[in-house]
Amino acid sequence: MKPSRILVVDDSNTNTLLLNAILTERGYQTVTALSVKEANASISKQNPDLILLDLLMPKISGFDFLQLLKSDEKTSNIPVMVVSAITDEEVIKRIMELGAVDFLKKPIDIQYLVDRVGDILIH
């Protein structure tokens, strides 16, 4: 069976390296993008099975990218888990309304991340 493909979108090299290490260690195929532009290029080649998305990024924010993904029929069915240091209730409510499947606060709880990724990819 082919491993699930996860796209990690975060403008921090440290965060993408950490998430990449955690996920590849557990058998997932990961692709990283440091910007929405890189993420779009990756998605145009092959849709991922899951996107882990940071909110605070230069040029195009995670909010705007999430909205774009969910409004495009080619990408609307890709589950998106937001991973962010922003923990404001209004922000979390907004991203869930935009179509995110979950929210994970930074610094990340590795076990929760691994469990949720597994749950999301099974369904």
Task: Give the CATH number for residue 91.
Answer: 3.40.50.2300
For residues 89 and 37, give the distance between their C-alpha atoms in angstroms, rounded to a whole number.
Answer: 28
Supply the pLDDT for residue 2: 82
Bridge partner residues of 83 (DSSP)? 104
Supply the pLDDT for residue 117: 97
What would the two tokens of residue 9 be?
């979108």
DSSP 8-state assignment for residue 49:
S
Mean local confidence (pLDDT), 1-21:
95
- pLDDT bracket for residue 123 (50, 70, 90): confident
Listing from the earlier edge strand, what are the strands of the sheet with 50-53? 29-33, 5-9, 50-53, 80-84, 102-105
Q: Answer yes or no: is pLDDT of 31 > 90.
A: yes
Please state the pTM of the whole predicted model.
0.96
Residue 119, judged by CB atoms within 10 A of its CB (0-12, 13-18, 19+), counts as exposed
The mean predicted confidence, pLDDT, of the chain is 96
Domain that holds residue 34: 5-122
Residue with tokens 């069976």: 1
Mean local confidence (pLDDT), 70-99:
96
Q: How many domains does the chain have?
A: 1
Residue with tokens 């937001």: 82
